[in-house]
Amino acid sequence: MESNAFNFNSFVEDSKQTLFNPREYFSTLSTEGGLGIPVLKAVLYGAVAGIFHLLWSILNLTHAGGAMGGMFGGAVGVLAFFGSIVAALIGLFLGAVIILLLVAIAGGKTDFEPIVHVSAALLVIMPVSAFLNVFAGIHWFLGALISLAVNLYALWLLFNAMTAALGSKTETSKIIVYVLAGLFILFFFIGLGTRRASRNFMREFEQHNMDLGERGVEQKSPPLCNSTHNDFMDVYNRLFI
C-alpha cells in the first residue's frame, strides 16, 4: 500500500501479489507510515482466518468441531474466530522480532518499523492455512501434509521479503530458509512417528483392558451371602460362646 490511508481494494490486491508475485511485491513494499496499517492488516487477516475456523467447526470439518458436535463445534469455532485475531496481533510483533533476528544474521536492514510492515504482509498465509485446514477434517495425514506445504511456501515468502524488502544477503538468506525448511520437515516426520506410537499404545492399552475383563468374568468370586454369613457367625461366637 503506497498511501498511508488504508484502502480495502489495495489490501486485497496486495494480498494477491504477496501470494502469487512475492518478489515484485516486496521490492515495492512501502515500509513507512507508522504501525497503524500493519496492525489493521493483521486484524483483517486474523478475522478472515477466524471465519474459516468458525465455518469448518460448524460444519464439523475439523477435529475440534467433529469431536464436540454441531452446537459445541460452533462454540469452539467462535472461540477460534476471536483467537485467530488475537493470534494475528501477537504474531505480527513476535514475527517481527524473529524476522529482525534473521535479517540481522543475513546482513539486512534492522529498522523495526519496516520489519513490522513485512511481518504484516507475511500474515497473508494465515487465512490460506485456515482455509486449507478443512482437509484435516477429511484425513489427519492429508491435513498434516498440506500444513507442511503451507509452511514451506511461507518460508519462500519470507526469503523474498528478506532479500527484496529488507536487503538481506541472498546466499545467507537461502541458508537460513533451507535450515528452517529442514526443521519443518524434521518436525513433520517426528509428528508422524509420535502419532503412530500413540495409536499403537492406545491399541495395546485397550487390548489389555479387554483381556483383564475376560479374566474377571472367568474367575468366580465367593458369594456375597456366604461371606456375610461367615462374618456374622464369627461375631456371634466371640460374643456368646
Q: CB–CB of 192/144 below 8 Å?
A: yes
Strand ranges in the chain using DSSP code E only, listed in sequence order? none
Residue 127: alpha-carbon gap to chain centroid: 12
| pLDDT for 63 | 56
Nearest CA to 159 out of 31, 20, 23 is that of 23
Q: CB–CB of 130/61 below 8 Å?
A: no
Q: CB–CB of 45/88 below 8 Å?
A: yes
Task: For residues 75 and 241, give the distance between their C-alpha atoms in angstroms, rounded to a whole number.
Answer: 70
Contacts for 205-213: CB closer than 8 Å, 24+ residues apart: none
Task: For residues 22 and 35, give the distance between their C-alpha atoms in angstroms, rounded to a whole number.
Answer: 21
Span between the terminal Cα atoms of the chain, in Å: 102
Task: For residues 179 and 173, give the distance between their C-alpha atoms in angstroms, rounded to a whole number.
Answer: 10
Amino acid identity for residue 103 in this structure: V
Q: How many residues does the chain have?
A: 241
What predicted TM-score, i.e. pTM, was given to this entire model? 0.77
Phi, psi of 107 (to 5 degrees): 75, 30
Query: What proportions of the chain, in percent to the nearest 5, are helix, strand and coil?
Result: 85, 0, 15
Please report, in tens digits, the pLDDT of each residue of the chain (241 residues total).
445 667 889 999 999 999 999 999 999 998 888 899 999 999 999 999 999 988 988 887 765 444 444 445 556 778 888 999 999 999 999 999 999 999 999 999 999 999 999 999 999 999 999 999 989 888 889 989 999 999 999 999 999 999 999 999 999 999 999 999 999 999 999 988 888 788 777 777 776 667 666 666 555 555 544 555 555 455 445 544 5
